[in-house]
């Protein structure tokens, strides 16, 4: 889905969803995993700007 990096950083992960009703916390976790994430470039740039990631070439392995 992709959201802005600012929205992603500001969202409280424990905040319930309006449509969640009485569902358990696993549905909230599933929503975070499937629907609420920024573009990976935004995360990499943030880590680099904070000095947590060195400049270079990286491979990202996604194992489904």
Q: How many CA atoms lie within 13 Å of 62's alpha carbon, on the beta-carbon side?
A: 2
How many domains is the chain partitioned into structurally? 1
User: Is 55 inside a domain boundary?
Assistant: no
The values of phi and psi at residue 44, to 5°, are -60, -45
CA Rg value for the chain:
15
Q: Write down the H helix ranges in the chain.
A: 5-10, 25-35, 40-49
In-domain check, residue 58: no
Residue 45 maps to a domain: yes
Is the whole model's pTM more than 0.85, yes or no? no
Q: Is residue 32 part of a domain?
A: yes
Integer Cα distance of 19 and 22 in angstroms: 9
In a domain, 42, yes or no: yes
Question: What residues make up the domain containing 39?
Answer: 5-13+22-49
The answer to whether the beta carbons of residues 1 and 37 sit under 8 Å apart is yes
Kindly state whether residue 38 falls inside one of the protein's structural domains.
Answer: yes
pLDDT string in tens for the chain (64-residue length): 567 888 888 887 777 766 655 556 677 777 676 677 787 888 889 999 999 999 999 888 877 7
């Amino acid at each position: 889905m992709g959201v802005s990096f600012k929205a992603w950083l500001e969202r409280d992960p424990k905040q319930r969803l309006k449509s969640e009703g009485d569902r358990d916390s696993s549905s909230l976790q599933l929503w975070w995993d499937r629907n609420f994430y920024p573009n990976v470039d935004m995360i990499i740039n943030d880590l680099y700007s904070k000095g947590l990631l060195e400049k270079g070439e990286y491979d990202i392995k996604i194992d489904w």
